[in-house]
Amino acid sequence: MTVDAATDAAEPELRSVKQAAYERFRQALFDGRLRPGQFVSQRELVAMLGLSIGALRELLPRLQFEGLLNVMPQRGIQITQIDLPMIRQAFQMRMAFEREAVITAVRKLDDALLDQQESLHREILEEVRHKPSSELFERGQQIDDGFHNLLVANTRNELLVQAYAVNAIRIRLIKLDRITLSASVLPSAFGDHLAIIAAIRSRDAHAAVDAMDRHMMNARERALEL
């Protein structure tokens, strides 16, 4: 095998290792081992994530560029804080992404997928009325995330999908910190989703964008008021 061929063969493996390190960091955010505003040392992150110090140092520039942490000389590493400017900016970005996604959905998303999404939402709403539970809200969150991811993936625009995925981490942190789904929040959020689904099914781009904008503003207001 030539040197160039060996290098080409090693590149996918290297990308896989880097992505695995990134996913470990993301999971630590989502499960609460890392909290917004928290200070940690490189040594603590290495132990928490099971990474080598070299792998962590390669990961840090990407995390800082994406706004998920700040490397502060003499103080350590600070996980991004949830404050009012961050909430406003994250939701503004999300609104821009999802407006494009919903316009594309009006043109391209199959009715069968819309029917499936509507069924999933109505099943959860029915269960919430009768027997709310933490397990139910976890499933509700998965359906919530899945609905938005479906709309964004349907654009088939890799740049948009990648940018959305980064911003989705910020949105998830905001939700964990301020607006986790509950018996009071879930019906409103899922009602917004059903309105979006109905507008897409009618192939009315203006109605779909209006429904998505209302949903984004409702979610943003719930985050800002706490």
Q: How many domains, the chain?
A: 2
User: Above 70 in pLDDT, residue 226?
Assistant: no
Mean pLDDT, rounded, of the chain: 90
Are 218 and 126 contained in the same domain? yes
User: Above 50 in pLDDT, residue 108?
Assistant: yes
Of 46, 79, 112, which marks where a domain is finished?
A: 79
Banded model confidence at residue 88, pLDDT cuts 50, 70, 90: very high
Are 120 and 184 contained in the same domain? yes
pLDDT of residue 225: 79
Are 68 and 148 contained in the same domain? no
When mean pLDDT is compared across 107-121, 149-163, 169-183, the lowest value belongs to 169-183
Instruction: Return left, alpha or beta for 80; rule: phi > 0 is left, psi -120 to 50 is alpha, else beta.
Output: beta
Residues of the domain holding 51? 3-79
Of 79, 96, 129, which marks where a domain is finished?
A: 79
Are 50 and 159 contained in the same domain? no
Higher-pLDDT residue of 185, 143: 143
pTM: 0.83
User: Above 80 in pLDDT, residue 31?
Assistant: yes
Q: From residue 100, how far is each of 22, 93, 167 by CA, in Å?
A: 27, 11, 15
Of 22, 45, 79, which marks where a domain is finished?
A: 79
